[in-house]
Amino acid sequence: MGIEHTTETSSWLWTGGHYGDDSPMPRFTPQDIGARSFPANVAKPPVIKMMNLAEITLKDTQVSARGAKSCQARGSDGQRITFVLGSNQEPVTSPFGATSFTEGEGGRKTLEFSLSPEQEKEWQAFDEWAIGYLVKHSFRLFKALKTEEQIRENYRSPVQKKGDYRATLRCKVNCEGPHPVRCWDVGRERAELPEDLRDTELVAKVNLSHLWMMSKEYGFVLLCTDLQIRSSAAECPFDEGGAFGGA
């Protein structure tokens, strides 16, 4: 069993990946996010403000039937690694919504979340950890000894940064299929996935899934498994039902 970590001050949370595929969405409270209800006589687990990078491990490289190479990411206890992006006080938004760049993706789409400056720094630390880990384990993962310079050249960060715009964290989301993303309202009840996620305040539960390898490039896949739909900036343009205004 993994240890459940919570945070009240940080805008996102890294845990030991103890949530299973069929587990309910973490309960959201006005004080924090990622906390589940505990009996009054049981002490809450320790509060952490940074993800514990030292507990992340990559399994040996696997090759699919189609020849795709990947390495599953797990915690030190062997469980999946998940984190919560956003909070009740500081939800996240997606500037582009769920998008598909190729026709072959099917129901899996890309969902980018805007990052605050603090979150951007935290993911820069993740990238530095990833580069160091890949250098250290290069022979096991790539069957070749690689230098830090070689790893930096071919590593692709999940964070995108263009000009003066805010950095975004690129995630994958299953909009249909056997394991679609689960959506929740602010009352912790199941909800439908909105057709357009742009300009919508969100809290996301994300799984650090695996390291992908394609040609000489490699990077991490982040899979969004749950979304709490908090609010939308979109407003109906009509004053009353059936009224378009004007003539």
User: How many CA atoms within 13 Å lie on the side-chain side of 172?
Assistant: 18
pLDDT of residue 233: 55
Q: What is the mean pLDDT of the chain?
A: 79
Residue carrying structure tokens 């310079």 = 149
pLDDT at 102: 59
Q: H-type helices in the chain, by residue range? A: 117-136, 138-142, 148-154
9/25 Cα distance (integer angstroms): 20
Residue 171: pLDDT over 60:
yes
**Residue % of the chain over a pLDDT of 90:** 60
pLDDT band at 50 (very low <50, low <70, confident <90, very high): very low
Q: How far apart are CA 228 and CA 230, in angstroms?
A: 6
pLDDT at 208 (0 to 100): 94
Q: How far apart are CA 8 and CA 13, in angstroms?
A: 9
**Greater confidence, 130 or 3?**
130
Phi then psi for 128, rounded to 5 degrees? -65, -40
Q: Check whether 42 has a pLDDT greater than 90.
A: no
Could you give the CA distance from residue 56 to residue 74 in angstroms, rounded to a whole number? 6
Single-letter code of the amino acid located at 157:
S
Q: What is the mean pLDDT of residues 132-150?
A: 97
Tens of pLDDT, residues 56-84: 999 999 999 999 999 999 998 899 999 99
Structural contact between residues 15 and 35, judged by C-beta atoms closer than 8 angstroms: no
231, 201 in Cβ contact below 8 A?
yes
Chain centroid to CA 197: 15
pLDDT tens, residue by residue, 12-30: 444 443 334 444 444 433 3
Question: Which CATH number among 2.40.50.140, 2.102.10.10, 3.40.50.150, 3.40.50.2300 corresponds to the domain 12-20+54-232?
Answer: 2.40.50.140
Tens of pLDDT, residues 79-130: 999 999 998 889 999 999 999 765 555 689 999 999 999 999 999 999 999 9
Nearest-angstrom CA–CA distance, 155 and 208: 16
Calpha distance 28→34 (Å, rounded) = 7
3-state class (DSSP) for residue 150: helix
Q: Which residues pair with 92 in a beta bridge?
A: 202
Give the pLDDT score at 104. Answer: 52
57, two tokens: 């491990």
User: What pLDDT is stored for residue 238 in this prediction?
Assistant: 56
